[in-house]
Amino acid sequence: MTFARAFLPNITRISQDDVTNTKEGCARLTRALIEDGIAIVTGMENTTESLPRLTQAVGPISPSAAALSLGGGGLRGLRQTV
């Protein structure tokens, strides 16, 4: 059995709705990211606003100095600050 196959069932899964609309959902996501370094967000809307709204639930988004110096834009030029 590969590492990925063994680990996949243990990855935290949480819906976008839970993360953006409940403190408990947001806490589950951030805990999984801090402790495990990975989480799967399910039910993501297929819109350009979906990912920024998800990350805003955790904390404000601000452009990184590196992305700005390289002329990065859009989501590539954003980083999460908590």
Q: What is the pLDDT of residues 12-44, one digit of tens each?
A: 999 999 999 999 999 999 999 989 889 999 999
Bridge partners, 14 (sequence order): 41
Q: Domain tally for the chain?
A: 1
Bridge partners, 79 (sequence order): 62
Q: Which structural domain range is residue 22 located in? A: 3-80
Residue 81 has pLDDT above 50, yes or no: no
Sequence-distant (≥ 6) Cβ neighbours of residue 80 within 8 angstroms: 55, 58, 59, 61
Residue 32 CB coordination number (10 Å): 18
Confidence of residue 78 (pLDDT cuts 50, 70, 90): very low
